[in-house]
Amino acid sequence: MIKTLITGAAFLLITAASFAQATIWKTNAQPLAEMAKLRKLIKSPVFKKADYPVTKYGAVGDGKTNNSNAFKAAIEACSKNGGGTVTVPVGTWLTGAIYLKSNVNLHLADSAKILFSRDTKDYPIVFTRWEGIECVNYSALIYANGETNIAVTGNGVLDGNADREHWWNWVYDRTPGAGTQGAARAKLAVLNKQKTDPKTRVFGDGSFLRPNMVTLINCKNIRLSDVKMMNSPMWFMHPLLSENITIENVKVVSHGPNNDGCDPESCKSVLIKNCLFDTGDDCIAIKSGRDEDGRRIGRPAENIIVEDCMMKDGHGGVGIGSEISGGARNIYAINNTMDSPNLQRVLRLKTSSSRGGTIENIFMKDIKVGTYKNEALSFNMFYENPGNFMPTIRNVWVENVNIEKGGTYGVYVRAYQQSPVQNLHIVNCSMKGVKTPIKADYLKDAIFDNLTINGQVMKAPESK
């Protein structure tokens, strides 16, 4: 079927570009050394010792008073005076969108709660990406663009205040007169395909494209730590085109639609450590833009470490894609624990020939899995409709993944004959209770070294 999409010299050109200069790991020593170097490069921002309590600027923590202006005033004063900490005391602090400025640490006291407004008028229209496509839409609940040295910290709660009657109903409410996002989502995809100026793609009221909880665009030196996040309208943490990011000890608990836990998109140098994800979509989904926008901008997601995290419910524990047109490389996932009958996949790579892009140098080691539902290791090049851009997946190393109770598939590969999953190396892995150990069509140079499924040592399928 793909021959009807990509033929002759055009296909050969795309294929040659995709498979050039691939790294091939022969042992785990090289990725472990690369990860150690990367870890040293990721550093948390440091803030001036100055305190700006929101109460000084008129905030009232009664859960009813709208404190948007107080948060704005406190953050602006803090940033203008060289930075410091904007403190949120114990209480419930209702607010609209928060714009985070350079050199500001927004810190929640223990048991403090920031409760976000359900009124769309409290969310200004800003430049953003929505599911990997650039547009102008509602601000995220916490938003920054082009800022440096920013943080959200503390043992408080960020409550997006979404439920089936607010925000989430824009997805699946079918009651008469209810607005849903379908038409605007389709329109945005068409505008992307037409390569229109992103600044003219204006949505907002009447379009029903939900905002994320945290979107940080073109920012450097970021820290998100210790807070609990719940009830986001859509994705939770969405750093975008940003670098030097530490996400640590964050707890994400929410089962709404598209409630991804963390979506670093086109980001560089990211550490996600000791976090809890119990979500209604992917726990972690690493992205780099959708289709035309992703290819035009051409910024891969790269140099990302995911370690010591706990994944419960979710579509995937560690996911890469599907908005992956800019590519992804050098992704390391180690010492993570996953366990839920509602966790659909352990490692999930999802792309298509409408996406294109190269996913390479993926290293997963020391993963403990109680149970999962669908596939343990999933590589799917047919996630969405086909197009003219052949995807590439290569150089994936999976080691010491131990699964107590498996799901439908152990290893699942659905690839193109012209672009097989290349250099998949599975080492010292054990999976029990799997219905179908391996379902794979096109693999090239795969090595299964002591992969045991249901007590049987499995051999890699022969290259086709």
- Cβ atoms of residues 88 and 122 within 8 Å: no
d(CA 364, CA 13): 31
Q: Does residue 41 contact residue 269 with C-beta atoms inside 8 Å? A: yes
Q: Nearest 5 degrees, angle CA 252-CA 253-CA 257?
A: 105
pLDDT per residue as tens digits for the range 413-454: 999 999 999 999 999 999 999 999 999 999 999 999 999 999
Which residues are CB-neighbours of 303 under 8 A, at least 6 positions away? 38, 41, 268, 269, 270, 329, 330
Query: Which pLDDT score, from 0 to 100, does residue 73 have?
Result: 98
Distance of CA 235 to the CA centre of its chain: 8
Give tens-digit pLDDT for 24-72. 999 999 999 999 999 999 999 999 999 999 999 999 999 999 999 999 9
- pLDDT at residue 464 above 70? no
| Range name among 175-189, 239-253, 304-318, 360-374 with the lowest pLDDT average | 175-189
| Mean pLDDT score across all residues of the chain | 94
Compute the distance between CA of residue 361 and CA of residue 23 in angstroms, rounded to an integer: 7
Residue 26 burial (C-beta neighbours within 10 Å; 0-12, 13-18, 19+): exposed
Q: Is 205 a catalytic residue?
A: no
Q: What is the distance between the terminal CA atoms of the chain, rounded to a whole angstrom?
A: 17
Instruction: Say if residue 173's pLDDT is above 80.
Output: no
Q: How much of the chain exceeds pLDDT 90, in percent?
A: 91
Report residue 241 as tokens: 């085109």
d(CA 60, CA 51): 17
Q: How confident is the model at residue 462 (pLDDT cuts 50, 70, 90)?
A: confident
Average pLDDT over residues 105-111: 98
Q: What is the pTM of this model?
A: 0.94
174-to-14, 169, 183, 211 alpha-carbon distances in Å: 43, 8, 14, 20
Alpha carbon distance 271, 250 (integer Å): 12
What pLDDT shows up at residue 306?
98
More confident residue, 72 or 13: 72
More reliable by pLDDT, 14 or 93: 93
Amino acid at 75: I
C-alpha closest to that of 114 among 98, 100, 93: 93
Domains of the chain: 42-216 (2.160.20.10)
CB-facing half-sphere around the CA of 334: CA atoms within 13 A: 14
pLDDT for 22 equals 58
Backbone angles phi, psi at 287, to 5 degrees: -135, 170
pLDDT score of 23: 75
Average pLDDT (163-167) is 93
Q: Which of 435, 443, 437 is nearest to 461 (CA)?
A: 443
Closest CA to 235 of 174, 189, 149, 167: 167
Tens of pLDDT, residues 232-291: 999 999 999 999 999 999 999 999 999 999 999 999 999 999 999 999 999 999 999 999
- What's the rounded Cα separation, in Å, for the pair 114 and 110? 12
Q: Which of 107, 238, 315, 425 is catalytic?
A: 315
The answer to whether the beta carbons of residues 328 and 300 sit under 8 Å apart is yes
Q: Mean per-residue pLDDT for 187-199? A: 97
pLDDT at residue 13, rounded to an integer: 34
* pLDDT at residue 338, as a whole number: 98
Cβ(322)–Cβ(328) under 8 Å?
A: no
Q: What token pair was written down for 77?
A: 């004063």
* Predicted local confidence at residue 352, as pLDDT: 98
H or E stretch covering 75: helix 68-80
* 274 phi/psi in degrees, rounded to 5: 55, 45
Top-confidence residue, 333 or 180: 333
pLDDT of residue 407: 96
Catalytic residue among 226, 260, 263, 281: 281
Instruction: Please indicate whether residue 70 or residue 19 has the higher confidence score (pLDDT).
Output: 70
- Report, as an integer, the average pLDDT of 321-345: 98
Q: Please tell me the distance from the alpha carbon of residue 334 to that of residue 400, in angstroms, as a whole number.
A: 10
pLDDT in tens, 373-393: 999 999 999 999 899 999 999
CA distance 131 to 401: 30
281 flagged as catalytic = yes
Angle in degrees, CA 314, 320, 325, rounded to 5: 135
Q: Which two tokens stand for residue 330?
A: 């050098």
Q: Quick one: pLDDT at residue 179?
A: 76
Hey, what are 158's tokens? Answer: 């960020």
Q: What percent of the chain has pLDDT over 70?
A: 93
